[in-house]
Amino acid sequence: MTSSATRTSFRVGFETLAQERQDVELAWRGRPPPWLNGRLFRTGPARFEVGKDAYRHWFDGLAMLHKFELRDGAVRYSNRFLHSQAFLASVKAGHIARDEFGTACRRTFWSRLSGAASTEMTDNGSVNIISYGPGDLVALTETPHPVRFDPRTLEADGEFKWTDDIGSQLTTAHPLWDAERRLIYNFETAFGRRNLYRFTSVAAGSRTRRLVAEIETDQPVWIHSFGMSARYLILAEFPLVVLPLRLLFSGGAFIDNLRWRPERGVKFTIVDKESGDIVRRAETDPCFGFHLVNAFEEDGDLALDLVAYSDAAIVASLSLDRLRRAGVKAMGRLARFRIPLNPGAVTRTILSEAPLEMPRFDERRAGRAYRFVWGAGQAGEDFMDRVTKCDLQTGEAAHWSEAGAYPGEPVFVAAPDGRGEDDGVVLTVVLDANEGRSFLAVLDAATLQEQARAYAPHIIPFGFHGNFFAGAAEAPSAGF
C-alpha cells in the first residue's frame, strides 16, 4: 500500500527546476562496473511557467538537458536549459511565445491566417537526444528543427539546419539507426492541399535527407514513433486523427485538434527501404500507442512490438493539471502484432501483462528477433514507480523498485564483448521522494539488482528520453 505522503510526493517531479549546475562531482553509493565509461544525456521539461503563463501538458515545458559523465569510477553531473528559439523568445517576451503540444501561445487569428504559425514552429527539444554524426549532438521535439548543443558544456549551438527542400510540419523524435546501411531513418508529416506521410533517410554526418517514400492521406493521424525491420519501414496509424484546417485556424493547441476515431481501426503500411514501394497494407482493431519497440521478419510475417493502450485517453491524462492532481495509472501493455507480408489477417498477442512505458532493448538487435525489453513500470496508484524487464520468450517480468522512488526510462548499455542481450547494465534517473533529490541508478541488466547510485544535487523533473554515448558522443550508432 502506498502511503499518503508518497501519494503526494511524486508531484515534485512536475515543478520547475531553476538551478543550473556545471560538472558537479557526485558520490557513488555502491560500485558501478569498471568498464562503464561514457556520458548519459537526458532531456525533458523543466520550466512549466513563463511569466503568468503556465504550460498545460507534460510534453510542453521548456527543455532542460542533463548529463551524467562516468569516467574511471567517478561521476559528474551537469544541467542546463536548452536555449532553443522557443526558450529565448518566451523568456524575452515574458510569456509563452511558441505553440507546444498541449499549450497554445499568444497569437492572433490574423497571424495564423497569414501563415506565421508555419515559421514559428517550436524547437523546444524536450523529447529525445541523438547524434547525427561527428559534432552533431542534438535535442529533438516533434518538429523538423533539431537543436545542436555542445556535449561538454550543454550550450546550444543553434538549429541543426537541413540542406534539402523536404518541407514537413511534423516529424518523430524517435529516428532509427540502420547500422548495416549506415542510415538514420525518420517519419514526417506535411499538411496542405495534399496531406503527405514521408519516410526519409540521412547518412551519418550528412545534413541532406533523402525521400524514401511519400504517401498521400486524406485523414492524417498523430505519429509519435514508427517501426523498422531489416528490410522494411513500418507505419502504424492509430486512429487519433489530426484536423489540419482546424489546427491552422482554431488558435488552439495541437492536442485540441486531435480526434479519436476508433471506427478507422489501426492501419499498417509496410514500405521497402530500398525501393520505397509499399509492399503491404493491413488493418486491425483499434488501439493506441506512443512507442513502437522493434520489428523483425519471421516465417513470412512481420512481427511488430509496441506498447498498446485500448484507446487514446492516456494523451489527455498526461495534462499537468491531471498529473498533479491524481497522477496516472494507465500504462500500456507490450503487444506483438503479426502482419503477413502476403494477404492474411493481422493478429495481436499480449507479450506481458506488466504495465510498461518508455520501452528500451538491446538496440544491436534492431530489426532482428530479440528477447528482452526494459521499461518504466507501475505497481502503485500514482505514477511510474519501478523498472520492469520483460522476457518475451517466457512472458515473465522482473522488477526493481523502492518505496518513494519513481524511475524514468531505463537505457541499456552493453558490456564490452558482452554476448547476451542482457549482458550489461541499465541506467535510469530516479526521483527519490524520501530524499527530495533524484539519483542515477546503475542496475544489472540481467537481474535488475542495483549496483550503484549517485545522487544529483536536486530533484530532476520527470523527463522522457535520452541516450548513453561511449567515447566522444559522435557516432550515431552510440546513441541508438
**Amino acid 193: pLDDT:** 87
Distance CA 207, CA 478 (A): 19
Q: What are the cell numbers at 479? A: 546513441
458 in a known ligand binding site: no
**Amino acid 5: pLDDT:** 38
- The rounded percent of the chain whose pLDDT value lies above 70 is 93
- Does residue 7 have a pLDDT over 60? no
Which of these, 351, 353, 352, 371, lies nearest to 361 by C-alpha position? Answer: 371
Model confidence at 299, in pLDDT bands (50, 70, 90)?
very high
Range with lowest mean pLDDT among 54-58, 191-195, 250-254, 268-272: 250-254
What integer is the mean pLDDT of 7-15?
82
Which of these, 61, 73, 66, 78, lies nearest to 24 by C-alpha position? Answer: 78
Q: What angle do CA 410, 415, 421 make, to 5 degrees?
A: 65
291 in a known ligand binding site: yes
**Amino acid 249: pLDDT:** 67
Q: What is the pLDDT of residues 102-140, one digit of tens each?
A: 999 876 444 444 444 444 789 999 999 999 988 899 999
Burial of 27 (0-12, 13-18, 19+ CB in 10 A): exposed
- Does residue 466 have a pLDDT over 70? yes
Q: What are the cell numbers at 317? A: 491524462
Domain count, the chain: 1
- SS3 label, residue 97: coil
What integer is the mean pLDDT of 283-291?
98
- SS3 label, residue 145: coil
- Does residue 479 have a pLDDT over 60? no
- Does residue 244 have a pLDDT over 90? no
**Amino acid 213: pLDDT:** 98
Instruction: State which residues form the domain around 377.
Output: 4-479
What integer is the mean pLDDT of 25-41?
97
Q: What is the pLDDT of residues 83-100, one digit of tens each?
A: 999 999 999 999 999 999
- In sign, the C-alpha dihedral spanning 18, 19, 21, 26 is negative
Q: What is the mean pLDDT of the chain?
A: 92
Range with lowest mean pLDDT among 239-248, 351-360, 391-400, 432-441: 239-248
CATH number of the domain residue 10 falls in: 2.130.10
152 C-beta neighbours (distance < 10 Å), count: 13
**Amino acid 115: pLDDT:** 45
**Amino acid 247: pLDDT:** 74
83 in a known ligand binding site: no
**Amino acid 478: pLDDT:** 47
